[in-house]
Structure 1
Amino acid sequence: MGRLWEDHRLTIMAVGALLVGLLMSVYVVPEEEQVVIVRTGEPVGTVNTPGGTKGPGLYLRAPFIDKVVRIERRLLDLEMNDEEVLSNDQQRLLVNAFARFRISDPVRMVERAGSTEGVRSALEPILNSVLRQELGRRTFQAMLTAERGSALANVRANLDRQARQYGAEVVDVKIMRTDLPDAPLQSAFRRMESDREREARAIRAQGGRDARIIRAEADAEAASIYADAFGKDAEFYDFYRAMQSYDTTFGPAREGEAPKGESSIILSPDNEYLRQFRGRR
């Protein structure tokens, strides 16, 4: 009985080891990936690569010996954020650019860069360099015209030529933004703001001067009218001015004026100020 149990235990262990070995040997290659099999540091096979005979599916490898390196078949991004570039007209520009590339030779990529991140690390300074060279031959204004397209075509061609040595193919290069640095922009904005404030002060000063002239002319005209009225009918002018004074003193508050409140004025019946109420002129 003991011998039988020992045989069963050994069988179970053997089956378990076989299953573990099988699981470690099997790998799946999806449609969006390509695979390079590396053995003792050297590529020995590929799956689902451009021009290859093996497509996506289920495959076996030697466990503990073969290493599966998975590589994207889709387009990959390479970004360059806010790098300062000197244009041909000596303008310091902040350039935000990106490139799209794919791995076209995965074996070379594994040999030269090891992984897609290694490719990115190798291409970033190259993208920076070719952009500086290309934009350095053009003015800032030229980068705002159709000439920008030819500049980007040259950048893509130069970057692609360098990327081939890492098994990559550059399919597109775009500049998302080309601006002057913040410091010159802020200085320009401050200059514009100062100029507008100076113009506003000049306009306000001119308006104040015109207002004083108009007010003085109006006062002079009013004084002339009053003088003419006084000369034609002195009694009527005296009556009119008295009514204005009474209205200001005793009348209700006009629209827009503060309420006058309750107040009392004590005057003697024969006060000269009230002579119009008594019908005396």
Structure 2
Amino acid sequence: MTEQSIAAIKPSNLLRRRTLPALVAVLTLWAVVSSFFALDVTEYGLVTRFGRVVRVVAEPGLHGVSPFDRVVRLDKRILFFRPAAAEFLTIDKKNLGVDSLVTWRIADPERFLAALATAATAELRLSDVVLAEIGAVMGRYPASVLISTDPAKRNYQAVASEVARRAADFARTAYGIDVVSVDVRRIYPPELNREHVFERMKAERAKIAKENRSAGEVEAKRIIAEADHEKIRIDSDAAGQAERIKAEADAEASRTYAAAFGQDSRFYQFLRTLRAYDKLLDDKTTIFLPADTDVLRMLHFDKQPGPLGPSPAAPAEVSTGPDVLHNKKEEVR
């Protein structure tokens, strides 16, 4: 072997000695990194080896695997989707459109991976299952069960519960999926029948409104009649009480007048005469009366002699109105 050949082999051996440790280190690092994976709380971890599921990891945290294993992550949260709207025939031969909402989650990750593998595929299969179950259930009920305004005839919740139960039974065994609920968001008539249905609904509502108004008018008349009756009773009680109080007041006034009249009859007569003058006489009234009228007697300011007859004392004198008033003032003093 020539010297040139030996010189060429030496650098090649040196390169191999330097590359081999680096390659071993890279492979070791890759094996260490590939042997661990972190799992989130919202995920399932399916460890597969050459396409076969080795184990299912449901607990979150850091887990170890073989470097040759592969980890498939599946969502464990509750998911939802809206199947396409479709029309179905009821038992009374009426078409109804249904818009639904499905909520679901993965119950058996291993079966789900084998049957569907992805959430998009699962939604397509579940959509077919739910629509088929809606059609089967609605075909056993009349349309009034779903769209009637009468609460006694409407049983919408029972229909939705039956659809959810039938879909859940099939999806759990076939796909490893737990159907949480199937909600019917909207039930509507077809475009051709919609106007007729709306008119019928308006007529029913108008009938109900008329009945409510009639009942309200009857109730209003009853309340007004009761109020009028109560008003008459209160007025009667108030009038009777007023008459009683007035009678008691008149009796008290009569007793007061009688007591005053008994104390000084002449003074009482004088006051009554003055009140009569106050009512009868003013600057626009002219009255012609005889001179000996009792009303005019008080206007005579001269003293009138009393009846004649022997008496040890001086003859008695009858005082007129001014004298009575003067005497009364003297008594008060």
Whether TM-score is above 0.5 comes out as yes
Work out which of the residue numbers 145, 164, 171 in structure 2 matches 1:156.
Answer: 164
Q: For 2:49 and 2:32, how far apart are their aligned partners in 1?
A: 18
2:146 partner letter: M
Change (3 A) 1:104 1:189: closer
Gaps in structure 1 of 5+ consecutive residues? 49-54, 191-281
2:64 partner letter: L
Q: For 1:148 and 1:27, how far apart are their aligned partners in 2?
A: 48
Q: For 1:162 and 1:5, how far apart are their aligned partners in 2?
A: 64
Alignment match, 1:75: 78
Q: For 2:111 and 2:198, how far apart are their aligned partners in 1?
A: 51
**Which one has more relative contact order, counting CA pairs under 8 Å at least 6 apart?**
1
**TM-aligned CA deviation for residue 79 of structure 1:** 2.2
Q: For 1:188 and 1:131, how far apart are their aligned partners in 2?
A: 22
Q: For 2:198 and 2:157, how far apart are their aligned partners in 1?
A: 30
**TM-aligned CA deviation for residue 174 of structure 1:** 0.3
Alignment match, 1:231: none
Q: With structure 2 as the length reference, what TM-score do the two structures score?
A: 0.50
Gaps in structure 2 of 5+ consecutive residues? 1-9, 200-333
Q: For 1:6 and 1:182, how far apart are their aligned partners in 2?
A: 79
Alignment match, 2:136: 133
The secondary structure found in structure 1 opposite 2:111 is helix
Alignment match, 1:18: 28
Q: For 2:28 and 2:185, how far apart are their aligned partners in 1?
A: 55
Deviations 1:83-127 (A, max 9, x none): 111122222111001211111111121223233333323222111
Change (3 A) 1:171 1:59: same
**TM-aligned CA deviation for residue 8 of structure 1:** 4.1
1:112 partner letter: A
Deviations 1:224-253 (A, max 9, x none): xxxxxxxxxxxxxxxxxxxxxxxxxxxxxx
**TM-aligned CA deviation for residue 168 of structure 1:** 1.1
Q: For 2:30 and 2:54, how far apart are their aligned partners in 1?
A: 24
Q: For 1:95 and 1:188, how far apart are their aligned partners in 2?
A: 16
Deviations 1:124-144 (A, max 9, x none): 211111101111222222113
Alignment match, 1:62: 66
Alignment match, 1:46: 56
Q: With structure 1 as the length reference, what TM-score do the two structures score?
A: 0.58
Q: For 1:14 and 1:39, how far apart are their aligned partners in 2?
A: 24
- Regions of 4+ moved over 6 Å: 1-5, 187-190
Q: For 1:85 and 1:181, how far apart are their aligned partners in 2?
A: 10
Q: Does 1:178 align with 2:187?
A: yes
Between structure 1 and structure 2, the one with the greater Rg is 2
**TM-aligned CA deviation for residue 167 of structure 1:** 0.9
The secondary structure found in structure 1 opposite 2:117 is coil
Q: Does 1:113 align with 2:123?
A: no
Which structure shows the higher helix fraction? 2
The answer on whether the counterparts of 2:87 and 2:95 sit within 8 Å (CA) in structure 1 is: yes
The correspondence of residues 187-202 of structure 1 with structure 2, limited to 5 A, is none
Alignment match, 2:281: none
Q: For 1:115 and 1:80, how far apart are their aligned partners in 2?
A: 17
**TM-aligned CA deviation for residue 68 of structure 1:** 1.7
**TM-aligned CA deviation for residue 189 of structure 1:** 7.7
Q: For 1:43 and 1:171, how far apart are their aligned partners in 2?
A: 26
- Among the aligned pairs, what percent are the same residue? 23
Change (3 A) 1:10 1:41: closer
Q: For 2:102 and 2:73, how far apart are their aligned partners in 1?
A: 22
Q: For 1:21 and 1:136, how far apart are their aligned partners in 2?
A: 59
The answer on whether the counterparts of 2:189 and 2:197 sit within 8 Å (CA) in structure 1 is: no
Q: For 1:189 and 1:107, how far apart are their aligned partners in 2?
A: 50
The secondary structure found in structure 1 opposite 2:85 is strand
**TM-aligned CA deviation for residue 45 of structure 1:** 0.3
**TM-aligned CA deviation for residue 75 of structure 1:** 0.5
Q: For 1:29 and 1:158, how far apart are their aligned partners in 2?
A: 33
The correspondence of residues 226-265 of structure 1 with structure 2, limited to 5 A, is none
